[in-house]
Amino acid sequence: METDQIDNHTKSNDRPLADKVVLWIEDDILLTEIIRKKMQKLNTELLHAYDSGGAFKLLVENKKPDIIFLDILLPGMNGYEILEKLKADENTKSIPVIILSNFGQKSEIEKGLNLGAERFLIKATMTLDEVFQEADAILRKHAA
């Protein structure tokens, strides 16, 4: 994922995910630290889990996130299994989920969308700003 545009959001009306709660389910430590720094600048509350156990624990112990970013390749339960469980639970089924993965095959994308993801974004082809803009658009759609 490109990180060269990490500091582009300076105007208050151009701050995607500002003041939101985001659950980030990702086992890549380096990427997570980049996301953490970016979200701190946006005043976004980041809840982070490396795996399904941590994710479901955070969902029980913290306030409900506004949006969830979900990787596919995770230790234990994979992202598709997590998504299926999220969408089957009355408490979490309405939370928009963005799959953020390096899988790009049509079958993988269709599987994620069919399980209830709002978007399937490919890490290697997007900047963080683009990812956050997509998330912001989804949140605006859900608020309407």
pLDDT tens digits, 36-70: 999 999 899 999 999 999 999 999 998 899 999 99
Is the pTM above the cut of 0.85?
yes
Q: Which CATH superfamily is domain 21-143 in?
A: Response regulator (3.40.50.2300)
Q: Taking the alpha carbons of 92, 25, 64, 16 in that order, is the dihedral positive or negative?
A: negative
* Nearest in space to 7 (alpha carbons), one of 132, 98, 102, 140: 132
- In this prediction, residues 22-41 reach a mean pLDDT of 93
Domain ranges of the chain: 21-143
CB–CB of 113/144 below 8 Å? no
Confidence of residue 139 (pLDDT cuts 50, 70, 90): very high
pLDDT given at position 1: 55
CB–CB of 43/12 below 8 Å? no
Per residue, the 3-state secondary structure of 12-43, as one string, reads CCCCCCCCCEEEEECCCHHHHHHHHHHHHHCC
